[in-house]
Chains A and B, each alone.
Chain A
Amino acid sequence: MSQLGGLFDDVVSDVDDVFLFSPSGSLYQRSVEADVPTVVVGTDNGVGADRYVELPLEFENVRERVRFGVEGGLDNGFIEEGDQVACALGLFVEDIDTVTRVRAGEFERSGVYQLFVNSRAEPAVIRNVLEVAIELGKKGQKGKRVGALFVVGDAGKVMNSSRPLSYNPFEKSHVHVGDPIVDVMLKEFSRLDGAFVISDAGKIVSAYRYLEPAAEGVDIPKGLGARHMAAGAITRDTNAVAVVLSESDGLVRAFSGGEIILELDPEAY
């Protein structure tokens, strides 16, 4: 089977950098010893690599995972626009079983990396909110789909451009997303109307908020409803990030600066 190697040499010939997605320690060691410019991408830096891009989520979708890793590499200055990058990652199993080649900057910068790293809120908070939205999307309520809108970060400004629909159940409480109790409260969440407001540090400030930003000029795909429109508008008016669970198609979308940055299918996680 040695001639097979020759067949696929094209894939990895003349690459400038290698991106290893969640590699084992020995693999990383070998790649360092072979003097290959290596960037490690993963949810944690278990191998202690110098050039490391943190994945906020274990993206199930390979395109999303590669895109996040490469954008992170670009933003950190590990690679340059136009570099040829070989990405080694696990598609079917945990271990690395796939090698793909991309040109950095080949696809439009979606800002996924920026969404996590350069938002007002801490990356861990955004990740936790996404996880809550995904969990809510998976469970729904009594088998029925539910929708939800979380506005994360810049809470003071968000509170001032919204009004309460009812008494705030989170008043004088100190619940943070990521607290174990939030998992228990998930079912309650799906019953509450309006938006959730979450502060930079992850405190759930309020529920039942009716957002009233100026929606002029917000351009979101046709067919998405009022919830998405509100999310797009509030993120354009403030420095917040919005995470929306759609009631109609069940997808989780993240908004920043009035635009959709990330689209995830809860069923895939």
Chain B
Amino acid sequence: MYALAVGSWFRELSAPAQNLIVAVVVLLAGLIAGAIASVAVRRVLVATGVGDVVEGTPFDRTARRIGSPTVQLLARISGVFVFAVAALYAARTLGLVPEELLIEQIGRFLPRLFVAVFVVLIGLVIADKTELIIDERLRSVKLPEATVVSTLAKVSVLYVAVLVALSQLGVATGALLVLLAAYAFGVFFLGGLAFKDLLASAAAGIYLLLSEPYAIGDEIEIDDRRGIVQEIDVLVTRIENDGEEHVVPNRKVFTEGAMRVRD
């Protein structure tokens, strides 16, 4: 009954008035949807423990100083985005923006902008977190230069995030991409070259740990070094002989073979 009455009342109104009402309704719906989206995003982020993970990163601290922790910031941005879309449609209904083409362009651009902003924010948080984790790992190594590693990791993460964001916005990123490829090549190829022995030892070490051809307490000989096995870890085997401890890389076991003394 009410719906019918409202419907007939609506039809009797003039066109501009109809538009105005539609615009107000869309705006209100956008406001509510934005609030719901904001709350939902915040709940999801809190439930998945993102808040605890990002806590302590420099980005989170900056965000807190502005007045909202990272989780709240992300939630607010999603809410504002939903509202912005609603506002755009309301403006179109009212005919405030003259050109239809512009609306379409903005409509297409807005999601991209949103994704770009999100990627940059997430990139910032992940970069900070990476730096923190690496720093913590390296703290036991009392070497001041070790901070270079964490800074490098942070910059790499940020670089990739900015690259993704820029390509979302449609900016030409070809040159940056080439740079990234060169960088990745450098890291993986040269890194692989540098860590070749370590990787080979680790692969052999995993086999040794799984199948245990020799165990702690056995007398063995690897590469002309004979003694009692004191310790086997992923990278090296420690063999002790009359107060001399040989640290033998595990890859030697595969290249030279090992002799186990049975008596």
Chain B residues contacting A155 (CB-CB under 8 Å) are 216-217, 230-231
| Minimum distance in angstroms from B136 CB to a CB of chain A | 14
A154 to B216, CA, bound (A): 10
Given contacts A172-B212, A205-B216, contact A199 B231 (CB under 8 A): yes
Q: Is A37 an interface residue (CB 8 A)?
A: no
Q: Is the interface of B mostly helix, strand, loop or mixed?
A: mixed
Chain B 201-236 residues near chain A, CB threshold 8 A: 209, 212, 215-217, 228-231, 233
A14 sits at the interface (CB 8 A): no
Known A-B contacts A156-B240, A174-B209; the reply to A203 vs B228 at CB < 8 A is no
In the complex, which residue of chain A has the Cβ closest to the Cβ of B211?
A172
Q: In the complex, are the beta carbons of A157 and B228 less than 8 A apart?
A: yes
Residues from chain B with a CB closer than 8 A to the CB of A172 are 212
**Which chain B positions have C-beta within 8 A of A157?**
228, 240
Smallest CB separation, B165 vs chain A (Å):
39
- The digit string for A41-70, where 1 denotes a CB below 8 A from any CB of B, is 000000000000000000000000000000
Are A160 and B217 in contact, CB atoms less than 8 angstroms apart? yes
Smallest Cβ distance from B218 to chain A, in angstroms?
Answer: 8
Bound Cα distance from A172 to B231, whole angstroms: 14
A200 within 8 A of partner (CB): yes
Contact indicator B216/A199 (Cβ below 8 Å): yes
A28 and B228 alpha carbons, distance in the complex (Å): 48
Shortest Cβ distance from residue A174 to the other chain B in the assembled complex, whole angstroms? 6
Where chain A touches its partner, the secondary structure class is mixed
Contact A159 B216 (CB under 8 A): yes
**B22 CB → nearest A CB, Å:** 61
Interface residues of A, count at CB 8 A: 17
CB closest chain-A residue, reference B210: A172
A15 partner residues in chain B, CB cutoff 8 A: none
What is the CA–CA distance of A156 and B230 in the complex, to the nearest angstrom? Answer: 5
Check B216 against A171 for contact (C-beta < 8 Å): no
The answer, among A156, A174, A201, A206, for a CB contact under 8 Å with B229, is A156
Contacts A156-B240, A159-B216 given: A201-B231 contact, CB under 8 Å? yes
Interface string of A160-192 (1 = CB under 8 A from B): 100000000001101000000000000000000
CB-CB under 8 A from B231, the residues of chain A are 155, 199-201, 203
Question: Per-residue 0/1 for B107-130: is the Cβ within 8 Å of any A Cβ (1 yes, 0 no)?
Answer: 000000000000000000000000
- Given that A199-B230, A199-B231, A200-B230 are known contacts, is A156 also in contact with B216, CB under 8 Å in the complex? yes
Q: Which 4 A-B pairs have the closest CB atoms?
A: A159-B217, A156-B228, A156-B230, A205-B216
Chain A to chain B contacts (Cβ below 8 Å), 24 pairs: A155-B216, A155-B217, A155-B230, A156-B217, A156-B228, A157-B228, A158-B217, A159-B217, A159-B228, A160-B217, A160-B228, A172-B212, A197-B216, A199-B216, A199-B230, A200-B230, A201-B231, A201-B233, A203-B216, A203-B231, A205-B215, A205-B216, A205-B217, A206-B217
